[in-house]
Structure 1
Amino acid sequence: MLTSVKNEKVKSWRKLKKKKERDMEGKFLIEGYHLIEEAIKSDWKIEEIIYQTGSDIETDWKQCTLHEVTDNVMMAITETKNPQGVLAVVHKKEINSAKISRALLIDRVQDPGNVGTMIRTADAAGFDAVILGDGTVDLYNDKVIRATQGSLFHMDIYQANLKDSIDQLQQQGVTVWSTGLSNAAYYHDLAIPDKVAIIVGNEGDGVSPEIMEQADQNVKIPIYGKAESLNVSIAAAVLMYATVKKA
């Protein structure tokens, strides 16, 4: 049992709260029974599982390295106010999406709840990939991970330069839609492309002009009430579900 927050192993876990350390180590932390089970079911490599004294251990966790820790150590590692008492160290995956017919591109969205919710919705809508552009919150931020509710482990999600990604998608025959008001058509007035990528942008500024210019079509969502705009994750959900090709 690990009892001290000064233990070197505990220190290494705490460092993973920082993006710089996650990038250097190629690892990240997840919290809670559901996320650990989703990671195991999705064949992500779990390096070790950390559990608080008295917490239940699932049978399939015994294939992993287990570390029991005291309450004070768990509180030093966890990022949640009411932790479930279980965490895991997971290795990042190298993602290379060669074939994409549905993708969500996220430009400089900084709220982790929004990004995690969009990833979860993209998974639910059957999208192939989510591409996080420069300036977007880190995928492995603890709040992003929690908001994905495990969808992080179900689909291809990666950080990339959006200009390069748009070029590559267009070369593959993917039609790129950008959200925005300039020269935009209402999404419901357009034919749904066989392959489509949707770009959504920063909560305050929207999609950057240079990214928007690369799109094949700018689209907008009608506002019937007095609200000035929709939350970016809601707008993304409307457009992703609107472009789903029913079997």
Structure 2
Amino acid sequence: MGKIIAFTNQKGGVGKTTSVANIGAGLARAGHRVLLLDLDPQANLTKGLGVMDAEQNVYGALLGEYALRAYTLRDNLALVAGSPALSGFEKVKGNDLDREFLLKDLLAPVRERFDYVLLDCPPALGLITLNAYACADMLFIPLEAQLYAADGLEKVLDLVTRVQRRVNPALTIGGIFFTRFDGRKVLRRETAEQLRAQYPGLILQQAVRESIALSEAPHLGQDIFAYAPGSAGAADYQTLLEEILTR
């Protein structure tokens, strides 16, 4: 049965979607069967991996309009497309008795077909994120080492605690990792050290450096390993992936 890993942060623009795309691609390159789910209404993961105008998406599947459909991207890698309509999910399903388990039920029949299922959560702690936490085995939190970075982090950790207590006792936090990291900037280094001291054992060693290639790859519908395999971004995500697999 595939391991479900959620990538989450209440704050947007922290490299969450980039991380899902490239960690997923790295796992697939290593021979693992990987399914990516785009749960963000912005659908940037879907667009950034070159899937345009998908006829079926995760929103329609969650509403029971059709079965879950995965679009094949390459060997060992498939994507369930996102949709802007996800922004209305809470309004449509917020009163359902089983509202926090809709995604878990949807994924149950397909988990055996994959080794890893990666969830790209929206930058909000609403019903979609709750569904992701309810079905995930583990979650990782991408974070920029900058002022106020810990504010949103505390809210994520609080929600995780409540989910563990009431909805998904098996959920664990795999770790927190820094993205868009520039070690030349004193403030970034100091913030990183403060967070390591504040959350001992949770901060991963590998950070993802600021990289032009990481920004360029989605515009061509590619992951960093296909677009620029010799880049710093590819090296960082490969090392990060290896660390994640040890958690």
Structure-1-length-normalised TM-score: 0.31
Larger radius of gyration between Structure 1 and Structure 2: 1
Is the helix fraction higher in 1 or 2? 2
